[in-house]
A and B are shown apart, each in its own frame.
Chain A
Amino acid sequence: MSELFKGKPTSRRAFLRGSAAAAAGAVTAGAAQAGTPDPLITEVQPWAQGWGDGVDATPYGLPIEYESDVVRRNVEWLTADTISSINFTPIHALDGTITPQGCAFERHHSGAIDLRKDDYRLMINGLVDTPLVFTYADLERFPRENHVYFCECAANTGMEWAGAQLNGAQFTHGMIHNMEYTGVPLRTLLEEAGLDAAGALQDKWVYVEGADASSNGRSIPMGKALGDCLVAFKANGEALRKEHGYPVRLVVPGWEGNMWVKWLRRIEVTDGPVESREETSKYTDTLADGTSRKWTWVMDAKSIVTSPSPQAPITHGKGPLVISGLAWSGHGAITRVDVSKDGGKTWETARLAREGEAKALTRFYLDTHWDGEEMLLQSRAMDETGYIQPTKAQLREVRGENSIYHNNCIQTWWVRPNGEAENVEVS
């Protein structure tokens, strides 16, 4: 057995522990047939005899210690320091679709700032009838909405352009999270300031920036701003976490995460794009001939098998196996996900846990029987526009290998007879 992913979740020891547990399970099951009773059942266990914790033992609860490996992780060599950097959601260990805030990936350009609600101000200026300033309390008085959306960094899977590089779904696909947001439509705030001064709206833009030192300004065409953008202050029912922009962030559904400005402090109606650093030197996609695409805002349909995967090997041996994963599209709802066990020769249509929801994560399952043979696992998403998630070869043919951003290729996991999995590329 070779050392594959050496990180915490599938450290060799953890993997061996898993294998041993599986083996022990098999033995116990065999023994039960032979009539040896399971002491976990026949002997009174301490938890069945004494007390557990009282209420208030943890006024705000964290996951139990046995789940302490389900955490965000950083890839140190990617960036110069952690202040302007990114980490990754442990998608290999989660199920369902909602990402808990505490393990949802972070991306900062000048660190996660500490901004109190009392110190929060939101300005709307530029081509509006009346430039306005709102406090946090003001925002809570506008009619608000609830929506579930995924937020994916444009650079998700960006390290995989030139080849299979990082060994784990967390690292190849973990720059994504999916939350239920509560907030005020951006349209409501723009209309409060009045858009008559802007004249014809089709060629107008909205420039948004944050309160941190990077300010991370981005230009958004007016159509999107008046469409489904949300000025959000709650996620998954509670206040946004500091690292996700407390107290207020912008939600730009289906579009690259960089535009979801955190600590949102200013919204300006302009007569053109500002062409800020984040929309020229970064978040533009260089093609093989050296020209670069700009304004590539939408995140195309994409999917990933989260389990089994390098950090989530099969530990139970042959027999029933749940292959599980996530699919999403910035163009709308996921309508279908296919799974291949042989590297793309043959495909089976997976079961969607629920009907796909527009611009939100969709969970898929393939309930199957594993014969213990090696698999080259792939998943392929389709969305409501009829778009089919491309292979890496198809993407490279159009874009070359230097785009950095928007890599939505089909991923391959090589699952071996011992249950371990590895990130590979196939012909």
Chain B
Amino acid sequence: MSRFLKFTLVAGLTVSATATVVWSGEYGLGREALPEEIAAWDVKIMPDGRGLPEGEGDVWTGEEAFIENCAVCHGDFAEGAGNWPALAGGEGTLADDDPVKTTGSYWPYLSTVWDYVNRSMPYGNAQSLSPDDVYAITAYILYSNFLVDDDFVLSNENFAEFEMPNADGFIVDDRAETEYAVWHGEPCMENCKDSVEITMRAAVLDVTPVEEEAAAPAPGEASVEEAVAEPEPEPAAAAPDPELVAAGEKVFRQCKACHQVGEGAKNRVGPQLNGVVNRAAGAVDGFRYSSALMDMAADGLIWDTESLAAFLDDPRGYMKGTKMGFAGLRSDEDIDAVTAYLMSFEE
């Protein structure tokens, strides 16, 4: 019997075994999930700590891991940077006019912190932390909220003992009693109020987004204007391949959460990147670079295609201590493309 036939026979047996299902399902569709598969995807942590892996982490290890992985958005002391969430502070403010809802002041369960850091953080590089890192970062977040001392060590052993300050701050939806029972019946149709006055206007606040007129050309004008106003660019010797630039624009989506390019680009979590290619490292005004980057800049680092490729391939391997929380680009094609895209933006 040829190998091919043998293979078909085995495959056939497998199919028929699947067809005579072992599970109770009516349709016999799908297949049984393997333990390794369930272990890989089922990482949820229950409020009582069920699901936690073995491990531990202390506050000081947590501080280091936090500064490396989290501080770029959440601040060195978990106080939050820019529009990104603060994780510390806000104690006793929940009944104020402007409550400050942080991990310490609001979150009812510590399991939620561990689960979320483990599965979804760092932002843009999820599921890259070890269990010990996650314990340590969680311990540091507690410390930054003054909820533990600096010698605190969090582990799967003591996890369930910890109660968050706002654990009792929640009630189950009571709208049926407080609202539905009241806002009910036959509504008023005439003479429902004595007078009506305008008490607040959105135009006074004026926070509605404004779009540039230029972005909305009148129908018919656009094609003519574009044809006249945009002559073919002069082909320069070093001009990047337009297809590569277009591919790079797609790759850059992974970078956009933190870096801006183009007209009006501003420093965000990362510095704006106009003109970055072939420029000295650490040269954007007003951006607080990591000391690791500033050290390499002092040694004369220039972001040429070679150094940029090495950095993008393995950011933390190339620059130990970089603030850039990005795992790196997977392929040389992506690196070439994004470099070509960056070259298309001048300073």
Contacts and interface: CB of A to CB of B under 8 A. Distances in A.
Contact of A164 (B41, B173, B201): B201
Interface in A389-422: 389-390, 394, 398, 401-402, 414, 422
Interface in B209-235: 209-211, 213, 215-216, 218-219, 222
Contacts of B115: 274, 276-277
Interface stretch (A27-35, A66-74, A243-251, A312-320): A66-74
B160 to A, nearest CB: 14
A295 B124 CA distance: 29
B316 interface: no
B189 A394 contact: no
Interface residues of B, number: 91
Contacts of A192: 23, 25-27, 29-30
Which secondary structure dominates where chain B touches chain A?
loop
Nearest to A279: B112
A292 B174 CA distance: 11
Contacts of A115: none
Nearest to B257: A83
Contacts of B208: 5-7, 75, 166-168, 171
Interface in B176-194: 178-180, 183-185, 187-193
A243 to B, nearest CB: 13
A426 B41 contact: no
A325 interface: no
Contact of A398 (B97, B178, B218, B222): B178
Given A286-B101, A402-B99, A345 B196 contact: yes
A2 B203 contact: yes
B204 to A, nearest CB: 8
B299 interface: no
A276 B44 contact: yes
A380 B187 contact: yes
B33 A142 contact: no
A14 B42 CA distance: 53
Given A13-B213, A192-B27, A390-B179, A292 B170 contact: yes
A427 B97 CA distance: 21
Nearest to A75: B209
A275 B173 contact: no
A207 interface: yes
A300 B184 CA distance: 12
Given A280-B107, A294-B173, A427-B196, A65 B211 contact: no
B264 interface: no
Interface stretch (A41-49, A210-218, A230-238): A210-218
Nearest to B93: A290
A368 interface: no
Contacts of A343: 193, 196
A384 interface: no
Given A81-B268, A132-B33, A422 B201 contact: yes
Given A281-B103, A286-B101, A274 B189 contact: no
**A interface bracket (residues with beta carbon within 8 Å of B):** 35 or more
Contacts of A389: 183
A68 B216 CA distance: 8
Contacts of A134: 29-30
A329 to B, nearest CB: 11
A217 B120 CA distance: 11
B200 interface: yes
Contact of B82 (A6, A80, A129): A80
B37 interface: yes
A192 B23 CA distance: 8
B183 A388 contact: yes
Nearest to A128: B23
Given A7-B208, A268-B42, A388-B184, A164 B200 contact: yes
A117 interface: no
A293 B174 contact: yes
Contacts of A8: 211, 215-216
A123 B209 contact: no
A387 B175 CA distance: 12
B183 A387 contact: yes
Given A77-B207, A286-B94, A295-B173, A123 B201 contact: no
Interface of B: 22-27, 29-33, 37-38, 41-42, 44-47, 73, 82-84, 94-95, 97-99, 101, 103, 106-109, 111-112, 115-116, 119-120, 123-124, 126-127, 169-175, 178-180, 183-185, 187-193, 195-203, 205, 207-211, 213, 215-216, 218-219, 222, 253, 256-258, 268-269
5 contacts: A8-B215, A275-B46, A294-B173, A295-B173, A398-B179
